[in-house]
Structure 1
Amino acid sequence: MINIDQSLIYQIINVLLLMLILNILLYKPIRNILKQRSEKVANLAAEAQKAQSEMTRKEQDYQDRLQQARKEGFEQKNLFKLEGQEEEKRLVQQANQRIEAELTQNRQKIAQQVEEARKKLSGEITSFSREIAQKILGRTI
């Protein structure tokens, strides 16, 4: 049979007292430090997740604005292109009208000059025909 003597009781009390002192002085502070550390890590992870979400949102916002700017630039380019084409048509039309007016004016001048030349020649035809007839006939008419 097992005999319990007084030293065993002292050792049990000693172990319990040691566990109580270690718990108060060592285990609780270590557990508190570990708890604080895990809370800090959890807070940092939450902040990192929040920062990641914010970064993703800002990147998406940036991409949206960039796409909108590209779209507006493309529309502006097309608008300028259309305006340029319309301006080109207008200038070509003005040039054609100016050329047509000059051409009409030149035709009128030429017709007038032809008419003047005809009148002048018709006035001179009589004298030319007399001269030719006189030279052919050899006498004055």
Structure 2
Amino acid sequence: MLDLNLTMLFQLVNFFVALILLNVLLIRPIRNIIRQRKSVMDGMGSEAASFEEQAARRLADYEAQLQGARQEAGRNRAEGRAAGAAEQAALVSAAQQEAQTIMAQARETLRGEAEAAMSQLRGRIDEFADKAVARVLG
């Protein structure tokens, strides 16, 4: 069976001394490095989440501003169309009035020329009548 002698005691002491030395020199520093890396990673994770949140807010702000700009452009377009339609109506109305004035002047000019031609022809009725009688008789 198992003999408990002095060699086994030295081996046991040697094992515990090696365990303590390994713990002090290797295991604790590695654990500290792992903790530090974990805290750095947690910090980076929270920082990344913060950046994502800021990006989402900025994107939402940008989209809101873009929507506002689109609405503003729509209003400006509608106002421009309304102003253009009003200006067009005013121009058409002015052109119609000018055309009516020109037509009235033309009618007056033609009426005056017709009356002048009629009075000139009335003055020459006797001459035309004499020519017509001379042809019929002649």
**Do Structure 1 and Structure 2 share a fold, with TM-score over 0.5?**
yes
Q: 1:29 corresponds to which residue?
A: 29
Segments of structure 1 that go 5 or more residues without pairing to the other structure are none
Q: 2:42 corresponds to which residue?
A: 42
Moved over 4 A (4+): 130-138
- The answer to whether the aligner puts 1:11 opposite 2:38 as a matched pair is no
Q: How much is the aligned-residue C-alpha RMSD, in angstroms?
A: 2.5
CA distance in 2, matches of 1:137, 1:33: 144
Matching residue's letter, 1:28: R
Q: 1:81 corresponds to which residue?
A: 81
**1:1-141 matched pairs, under 5 angstroms:** 4-129=4-129, 132=132
Residue by residue, what CA displacement relative to the aligned partner does 1:84-133 show, whole Å, maximum 9, x if unpaired?
Answer: 22222111111111111000000111111122222222232244445656
What is the Cα deviation at residue 2 of structure 1?
Answer: 6.6
Greater mean deviation of Cα atoms: 90-99 or 101-110: 90-99
Matching residue's letter, 2:6: Q
Residue by residue, what CA displacement relative to the aligned partner does 1:18-49 show, whole Å, maximum 9, x if unpaired?
Answer: 22211111111000000001111111111111
Greater mean deviation of Cα atoms: 33-42 or 69-78: 69-78
Matching residue's letter, 1:82: A
Secondary structure of 1:62's counterpart equals helix
CA distance in 1, matches of 2:32, 2:67: 51
TM-score of the pair, normalised by structure 2: 0.83
Segments of structure 2 that go 5 or more residues without pairing to the other structure are none
Identical columns (%):
29
Greater mean deviation of Cα atoms: 7-16 or 124-133: 124-133
